[in-house]
Amino acid sequence: MEIGRNTTDHLRLEIVGYQFAAAKDAWDANWLRVHVRASVDGREWDSIDPCLLTSEVSEIAVWLEYLADGMDVAPLEFLEPELVFDLVGRDGDLIRLRVWFAGGLRPSWAPYDAMPSRDLAAEIAVTREELTRAAADLREQVRRFPDRPGVGLR
């Protein structure tokens, strides 16, 4: 998934794999390692961190589709508070988002003292078409790394 391509603030998110390849527990079986390449004010970095569950990647896709359909949505937060997606507003055909970075998804030049740390965010303006493409890409990624059944906790 990529939003804000060719702008000073952008986000690219790609699932690298399951955190625990042979996990038997439902929680551990569904943690994903996520590669983020992002830019804030033209300062780019990339990081890989096990910060999303399989179900949370699907939630991002749904959230993006709702935005593309013109709906207003609440901020999207996850169990691990390393990414937060927020709708800032709409300017004609552009939808303005804010994506917050915390924990292991922060760049080395912006260390943090405690989580969650809401002081580093990409401000991204996107079109409905870009949101639809991003959601479709996330759905394809989660097809490659589906929710895995496990023992207990489900």
Report, as ranges of residue numbers, the positions in the chain whose pLDDT lies below 70.
113-117, 151-154
Q: Kind of pairing, strands 94-101 and 43-53?
A: unpaired
Q: What is the pLDDT of residue 6?
A: 81
* Domains of the chain, residue spans: 2-144
The CB density around residue 151, as the number of other CB atoms within 10 Å, is 10
pTM of the entire predicted model: 0.92
At CA 58, angle to CA 53 and CA 60, rounded to 5? Answer: 95
* H or E element that contains 130: helix 128-144
Q: Which CATH number describes the domain made up of 2-144?
A: 3.30.2450
